[in-house]
Amino acid sequence: MDGDTVYLIDFEEMQHTLTTHRDDISLQFKTEMMTTPLFHAVSSVDEQFFRVELVGGRIVVRTNMNVRRQGGSSEEVFNFQSPLLSDGQWHTVNVRRRANFIYVSVDGQAGMTGEIPVKGEKPFHLATQQIYLGGPAPKNYEKPPPRASRAGFLPEGVRFTGELRNFYWNEYDFIGTEELSKSYATDLLTPRAVVPEFPQWPREPTYSLTLMPRLRYAALKTPIKMKEAGDMVLIEFKTEYDGVILHVSLMSHLRCFCSTVVFFVSPSSSYR
């Protein structure tokens, strides 16, 4: 991944939700970034998120399970102490969750165990509608934009630069096989197309032509070649008479197409 793309795994698109009481998550990554998200799972219905990232070259797990639903805004943070993982080598992070207990290990080393405080009587179910692999979730993921406007939507923030592979979440193999693809849809989010502003036409040199009453018309001896993408003709005139301002003949396939433009102007006025 080059830092300009995010791999979206969308259960909501297929009218599904990944709701779990226990999770076994595994992901392999290779990067030289010190701080970057690995994946960010969110649910707009439950206002939950589960995020695994690198901070200072080490694994950090963040979640607000059983917190936001109780009216709070805090999150639980689990910092895994290990050698720096931003060394351009392959590393494997494993996250296991059993209700409110979390176990994190890297490269098979002795892991770290954490516990999410119990608040309220609601069960520790993690609901996931979208997973953003290699990037952050939208800041307003609790109130996502209409689906019709999500095409090419790329969340703001730091994005992963490096390689990702073997992303497993319970029975799902998100990067490999598509045996369960009917449960979710995938999309590669890229930056929105930049539509340039319409260029200002450069002002061409001014050629002046005076037509007296006895001079009925003037013609160009050299044909003008219009650009394939289109062109523009700018005419400024001042007159005291009604009449034909411009007569254009277009030659195409041995056929002549003529268009006549007639302007009715008031005396002693300038037009462009």
Task: Write out the residue range of the structural domain in which residue 61 sits.
Answer: 6-189
Answer whether residue 235 is part of any domain: yes
Mean pLDDT by 10 residues, the chain (272 residues): 87 84 95 96 87 95 74 78 92 94 90 82 80 87 58 77 94 75 81 65 64 68 62 72 73 45 44 47
Q: Does residue 155 share a domain with residue 56? A: yes
Looking at residue 121, its pLDDT comes to 63
- Element (H or E) spanning 263, and its range? strand 255-263
Say yes or no: 182 and 215 in one domain. Answer: no
Model pTM?
Answer: 0.66
Say if residue 22 is in the same domain as residue 139: yes
Are 48 and 124 members of one domain? yes
d(CA 106, CA 146): 38
Q: Are residues 218 and 265 in the same domain?
A: yes
Inside any domain, residue 264: yes
Same domain, 34 and 119: yes
Domain count for the chain, please give it. 2
Does 253 lie in the same domain as 137?
no
Give per-residue burial for 24-51: e unless 16+ CB within 10 Å, then b. Answer: ebebbbebebeebbbbbbbbbebbbbbb
pLDDT at res. 116 = 85
Q: Are residues 164 and 225 in the same domain?
A: no
Q: What's residue 154's pLDDT?
A: 77
Neighbours of 233 (CB within 10 A): 9
Residues 227 and 175 in one domain: no
Can you give the CATH number for the domain in which 123 is found?
A: 2.60.120.200
Residue 171 and residue 88 in one domain: yes
Q: Mark whether 65 and 169 lie in a shared domain.
A: yes
Residues 125 and 246 in one domain: no
Instruction: Identify the DSSP state of 202.
Output: P
